[in-house]
Amino acid sequence: MGQLMHVLITFFYSNMFYLTFTPFASSVYFKISSFTSNNNEILYRGSAAPSSGAVQLNPVNYVCQVGQAIYADRVQMWDSSSGKVSDFTTRFSFTIDTNDQLNYGDGFAFFLGPADFQIPPNSAGSFLGLYNLSNYRESSENHMFHVEFDSFVDTDWDPLYEHVGINKNSIFSANTTAWSAGNHSGDVADVTISYSAQTMMMIVSWTYNNPTPETSSVSYHVDLKEVLTEWVTIGFSAGTGNLKEKNTLLYWEFDSSLNGKWRNPEERSGISTAGYLVPGAIGVIIGMVIATIIGIPVFILFKKGCWIKGKGRRTKKSTQEKNKLIKTSSSADIESEGRSAPLKYSYSDLLLATNGFSDDNRDVFQFHFSTRLRLRRSQKILHKEKMSVRLRWQP
C-alpha cells in the first residue's frame, strides 16, 4: 500500500507539473473562411477591401495599385530568450483573373515582414507592395521573407517565365518553379506553405482542381531567425502596374508553435522584455496553487489511512502470537497415578497466578508451586504403600 501511495502521489504531481508548465501547442491559430469589414482579425490596406466574403486586393478598374490584407496581431517567429524558432503552416486559397487579356500583371504574395511594416512608397507593379527602388536588392536590413506568384516577367530581376518564387530580403527569387496565371485565370489555387525550424526547410505547394487536379511545389532551405525580426507582420500583398489583373483572397488559415503575446510599444513603457509577455506566467501560478491545495490534503489522508491499517495489522498479529503461545502451553493433568511427571502450568494460569508476572506476586507463585510439589510426592508415597498393602493381603 505504501508503494502504491508513493506512485499515486508522484503521478499526481508530475502531471500537475506537466499541465502547469507545458505551453499549449498551436498558440497562434486562426481560420478565416469569410472576410468582412467587421472582422477584427484582418486589417485592409491600400486598395484591398472585403467583398462577398472574399478580399479584393486589386480592383481591375485601376492601374498602379497596392492592396494588402494582414493579420491584426503580430506573430512571434523566434524567442530571443531561448533561441527557439517557430514552426508554422499556412493554407490559403486565391484566384487571379486576367480578364482574358494576353498581358496582365503583376502578381500576388504571402509575406512575413517587420512588426512595424507599412506599405513602402512607390512599391506598386513588380515590387508587389513589399519593396521599392531603395531596398529591392538583398539586404539583411529588410527583414522580409515572401512567397510570390509572379504573373509579370520583369527582366531586371525575374527569370524568363511566370513563376512561383521564394524570396529572402529581396525582389530577386532564391528559388522558383514555372507557373502561369493566364493558364489558370479565374481558377482557385489551394496553397500550403510549411516551415520546419528543425530542418530549416520551407516547402510551398499549390493545387488547381479545374478541370483536373494539378499540383506543383517549390522549396528552400533557410534559417528564418537570421532573416526575420523576433516579431513579424504576416499577410498578403498584391500589386498592379501599367497592366491589370484581379487578385482575390478567398480563405486563410494559419498555425504556428510559439505562444508569446504581442504588446504595442506604447503599452511597454518601462518594460525591458522585447515586446511580449512571459508565456504562461499566470497559468504557472494558478497551477501551483491548485496542486498545493489538492495535493497536501490527499497526501495526509492517505498517510493516515496507511498508519491506521498498519497499526491494526500489528495489533492483530500480536494477539495471534499470544493466543498461539497460550494454546501450545495449554494445561495438562497429572499423568496416571503410577507414573511421575513434572507439573505443567498453562500460560493463562501463570498470568493469573502472578497478576501479569508482577514482582509482588512471584513469591505467591513459588509458594503455590512448592506446595503442589510436596503434595505430589506425598501422593506417590501413599500410592506405593497401597500397592504394598495389597500384595501382603493377597490371598
pLDDT tens-place string over residues 363-375: 544 545 455 555 5
Among 53-57, 239-243, 252-256, 257-261, the range scoring the smallest mean pLDDT is 257-261
Q: Residue 211 — pLDDT band, cuts 50, 70, 90? A: confident
Is 305 or 231 the better-scoring residue by pLDDT? 231
Mean pLDDT over 54-72 rounds to 93
Which residues, 6 or more positions from 186, have their beta carbon under 8 angstroms from its beta carbon?
A: 95, 96, 97
Q: pLDDT at position 338, please? A: 43
Q: pLDDT at position 61, please? A: 78
Task: Write out pLDDT tens, residues 74-116.
Answer: 999 999 999 999 999 999 999 999 999 999 999 999 999 999 9
Mean pLDDT over 324-338 rounds to 45
In single-letter form, the type of residue at position 272 comes to S
Rounded CA-CA distance 180/162 in Å is 6
**Is the pLDDT at 240 greater than 60, yes or no?**
yes
Find the angle CA(52)-CA(131)-CA(74) to the nearest 5 degrees: 60
Q: pLDDT at position 384, please? A: 60
Q: Residue 164 — pLDDT band, cuts 50, 70, 90? A: very high
User: Could you give the percent of the chain with pLDDT greater than 90?
Assistant: 56
Q: Residue 156 — pLDDT band, cuts 50, 70, 90? A: very high
Q: What is the mean pLDDT of the chain?
A: 77
Rounded CA-CA distance 241/89 in Å is 31
Helix 2-21 to helix 281-328 angle, to the nearest 10 degrees? Answer: 180
Counting Cβ atoms within 10 Å, is residue 43 exposed (0-12), middle (13-18) or buried (19+)?
Answer: middle
Residue listed under C-alpha cell 506599405:
119
Buried b (16+ CB within 10 A) or exposed e, 19-40: ebeeeeeebbeeebeebeeeee
Q: pLDDT at position 331, please? A: 44
Residue listed under C-alpha cell 502547469:
20
Buried b (16+ CB within 10 A) or exposed e, 350-359: eeeebeeeee
- DSSP line for 22-62: SPPSS-EEEEESSB-TT-TTEEEEET-EEETBEEESS-TT-
Q: pLDDT at position 250, please? A: 99
**Residue 210 gets which letter from DSSP?**
S
Rounded CA-CA distance 27/85 in Å is 14
Q: pLDDT at position 289, please? A: 47
Grid cell listed for 165: 518564387
Q: pLDDT at position 16, please? A: 46
**Residue 138 gets which letter from DSSP?**
-
**Length, in residues, of the chain:** 395
Residue in 92, 97, 119 with CA at minimum distance from that of residue 181: 97
Task: Write out pLDDT tens, residues 109-153.
Answer: 999 999 999 999 999 999 999 999 999 999 999 999 999 999 999
**Is the pLDDT at 317 greater than 90, yes or no?**
no
pTM score of the predicted model: 0.63
